[in-house]
């Protein structure tokens, strides 16, 4: 069967994360249901990463094996049609070698965390950022965060329910900067633990 690689973006506000869960609707479940309508059979997708509840993603990769020969552009259009009531958009679909694995072959993951540092309440960003009213020093934050760069045991920063086999992770670049009331934090790593970045930012 042909293997397809898809690039997806989604607003995670109403989802319990990427991975299928018993306690709510996941991004994976929504996409698999859309594929099932096209393939007329259940198909499992494999994502490059698993975002947590309420976390958004841009340019996330997943793959799946399809049971029909079909134009990839039509696949993209068909998936987006069936996902039109979800906060999910398939940006691109392409045929890929059958040994490609979205998770295993991922070279880098970037986690973006946004703090809005102001007194007035949030409106359009209320589900996309953490608001703190106390004045923050982004330069000191960035300097302090550099201690996380390198290979460390991040047990302290993962959730109790984290299923990762090892808490040892290698953190690459960390960049924290301000633009007006927005403080942007970027973390680069091959993989992250559950709630790792949220805990580090706290």
Mark whether 52 is an active-site residue.
yes
CA dist., res. 38 & res. 82, Å (int): 9
* HSE-CB of 156 using CA atoms within 13 angstroms: 6
Query: How many other CB atoms sit within 10 Å of the CB of residue 90?
Result: 22
CA dist., res. 12 & res. 87, Å (int): 8
- List the one residue out of 79, 75, 109, 107 whose CA is nearest residue 2: 75
Which sign does the torsion angle of CA 179, 112, 150, 102 carry?
negative
| Rg from Cα positions in the chain | 19
Active-site position among 52, 65, 127, 137? 52
Active site residues: 52
């Amino acid at each position: 069967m042909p293997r397809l690689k898809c690039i997806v973006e989604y607003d995670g506000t109403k989802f319990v994360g990427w991975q299928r869960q018993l306690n709510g609707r996941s991004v994976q479940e929504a996409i698999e249901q859309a594929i099932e309508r096209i393939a007329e059979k259940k198909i499992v997708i494999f994502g490059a990463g698993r975002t947590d509840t309420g976390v958004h993603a841009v340019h996330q990769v997943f793959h799946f094996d399809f049971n029909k020969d079909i134009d990839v552009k039509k696949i993209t259009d068909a998936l987006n049609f069936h996902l039109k009531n979800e906060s999910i958009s398939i940006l691109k679909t392409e045929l890929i070698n059958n040994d490609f694995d979205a998770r295993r072959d991922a070279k880098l993951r970037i986690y973006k965390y946004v703090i809005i540092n102001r007194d007035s309440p949030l409106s359009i960003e209320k589900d996309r950022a953490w608001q703190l009213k106390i004045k923050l020093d982004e330069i000191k934050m960035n300097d302090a965060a550099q201690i996380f760069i390198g290979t460390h045991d991040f047990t302290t920063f993962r959730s109790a329910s984290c299923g990762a086999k090892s808490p040892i992770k290698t953190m690459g670049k960390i960049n924290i900067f301000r633009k007006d009331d927005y403080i942007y934090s970027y973390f680069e790593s091959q993989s992250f633990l559950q709630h790792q970045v949220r805990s580090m930012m706290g």
